């Protein structure tokens, strides 16, 4: 499970992150939005720098920004362990992949719901993770778009065992099963975790549902 910070209470970030870390969260999904690539502005370097001091969690940065290559180093310096950029945000994906790997961190590429898997053909063998968006990026709490599951299955067949296949947006107890059955191995959830009465319990339940679906498929 990859809890998305976007849905956390920004007046209690360190406390909520510590709560999930104690509950065994493997990483933290950081939804960075620039108000240009997506129609929303979330948070940036200062928040990440501050949180970095408070937790040992792996920081999985999802950069929903234009010019990802220009800002990647600043996010790594702020403490990000992984950088995912959007294929729609660059016309030189190979150079972005090489640049981020050059910073010493793993790299992922994200596809919007209607972007075909073919759009990442040129870098498919080089990335460490592919992130399939199951909502239009920009906001938490949106409805899952099931059409993307076909793309998940298609990509699963193309990716190596060392490459992660992450799905992001509208993941909840009803949608996580089909997402796991389609081949996703990492599940981003914001609302379904942070907006629940007991976030650690919600995260554990989602984890168990994904495991059961993967075992059954
Ligand atoms: C949307 C973000 C998602 C979002 C997930 O642009 O990339 O990570 O925060 O939020 P939920 O789980 O609420 O759909
Ligand atoms: Zn995200």
| Run of H or E including 154 | helix 149-156
Q: Of all atoms in ligand 1, which is nearest to the CA of residue 142?
A: 14
Known active-site residue 168: yes
If you average pLDDT over every residue of the chain, what do you get? Answer: 97
Query: What pLDDT is attached to residue 217?
Result: 87
110 Cβ inside 6 Å of ligand 1:
no
CA–CA dist 77, 143 (Å, integer): 34
CA–CA dist 135, 203 (Å, integer): 20
Query: What pLDDT is attached to residue 137?
Result: 97
Q: Of all atoms in ligand 1, which is nearest to the CA of residue 62?
A: 7
Give the pLDDT confidence of 173-195 residue by residue, as tens digits. 999 999 999 999 999 999 999 99
Give the pLDDT confidence of 110-125 residue by residue, as tens digits. 999 999 999 999 999 9
Confidence check: pLDDT of 70 > 90:
yes
Is the pTM for the entire model greater than 0.85? yes
With the most atoms of ligand 1 within 8 angstroms of its CB, the residue from 7, 135, 136 to mutate is: 135
Query: What pLDDT is attached to residue 57?
Result: 98
Quick one: average pLDDT of 150-167?
Answer: 97
Both tokens assigned to 169: 């947006």
From the candidates 31, 34, 60, 128, which is the catalytic residue? Answer: 31
* Share above pLDDT 90 across residues of the chain, in percent, rounded to a whole number: 100
Query: What pLDDT is attached to residue 28?
Result: 98
Q: Of all atoms in ligand 1, which is nearest to the CA of residue 133?
A: 7
């Amino acid at each position: 499970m990859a809890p998305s910070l976007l849905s956390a209470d920004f007046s209690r970030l360190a406390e909520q992150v510590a709560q999930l870390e104690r509950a065994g969260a493997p990483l933290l999904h950081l939804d960075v939005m620039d108000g240009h690539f997506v129609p929303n502005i979330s948070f940036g370097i200062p928040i990440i720098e501050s949180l970095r001091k408070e937790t040992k969690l792996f920081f999985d940065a999802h950069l929903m920004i234009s010019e990802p290559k220009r800002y990647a180093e600043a996010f790594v310096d702020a403490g990000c362990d992984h950088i995912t950029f959007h294929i729609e945000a660059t016309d030189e994906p190979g150079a972005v992949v090489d640049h981020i790997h050059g910073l010493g961190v793993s790299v992922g590429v994200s596809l919007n719901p209607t972007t075909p898997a073919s759009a990442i053909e040129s870098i498919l063998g080089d990335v460490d993770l592919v992130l399939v968006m199951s909502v239009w990026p920009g906001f938490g709490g949106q409805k899952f778009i099931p059409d993307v599951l076909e793309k998940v299955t298609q990509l699963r067949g193309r990716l190596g065992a060392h490459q992660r296949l992450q799905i992001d947006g509208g993941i909840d107890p009803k949608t996580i099963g089909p997402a796991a059955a389609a081949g996703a191995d990492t599940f981003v959830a914001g609302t379904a975790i942070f907006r629940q009465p007991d976030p650690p319990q919600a995260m554990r339940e989602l984890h168990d549902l994904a495991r059961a679906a993967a075992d059954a498929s």
